[in-house]
Every structure is written in C-alpha cells, then in structure tokens.
Amino acid sequence: MSRSVHGLAALALGGALVLTGCNSYSCKNDECHVTVSGADQILEVNGLDVRVIDIGDAGVTLSVQGSRPAKIPVGETAQVGPVQITVTSVEGHKAKFDMR
C-alpha cells in the first residue's frame, strides 16, 4: 500500500490548520517507510499521529501519539511512543525514516 499525505501544522494563534509540504509513506508487514518534507507538521501514518518537530543535519526530532519528543540521528533507531523509528537519511528539509 502506498499513500500520499499532506502534513498539517497547527498555528498557535487562532488554532488554524495549514497544509504544508508533500509527504508520502508505504507500509508492508507492519513496517512503514516515510518521506517527509519540512518540519513543524503532523502526519497520519498507518493510523498513528506522527509529529515532525525538527529536521536538521544531526537528524530528526519527532513524537508519536503525543509521546515525549525524541531526537534521532541519521542511522540510529529509537523507541518513540508505541513504535521504533530509524532515521535513514536527511537532505536539507527532507527526511526519510522507517517506522515499526
């Protein structure tokens, strides 16, 4: 299964929602491969809310289902909420990670 998703970033003032970037994911056997462009957005991936807080040279900071944010360096794996996430690459404002 392959899907395109649009990220949503909530603005603090007025509670408005803004569509940002173009993102995608595909899932097979409970593992999802995710590509995200831009930080400060929330994605729905395989029924879970994934908040992309920051994308930088050092890695990606995310939270899942309201968990405590985790900063994950490229090539590393961390438990984030109910899932394990491995950041596979970061190029500018674009990041790829696997989620299981």
pLDDT digits (tens, 9 = 90+) for 27-45: 999 999 999 999 999 999 9
Q: How many distinct structural domains can be found in the chain?
A: 1
Which residue range(s) make up the domain with 62? 2-99
Taking a C-beta distance cutoff of 8 angstroms, is the pair 32, 86 a contact?
A: no
Q: Which residues pair with 28 in a beta bridge?
A: 31
| pTM of the entire predicted model | 0.78
Task: For residue 69, give the H/E element and its range.
Answer: none
State the CB neighbour count (10 A cutoff) for residue 69. Answer: 12
The strand ranges marked E within the chain are 2-10, 17-28, 31-37, 41-45, 48-56, 59-64, 70-72, 77-80, 83-91, 94-99
Segment 90-96 shows an average pLDDT of 96
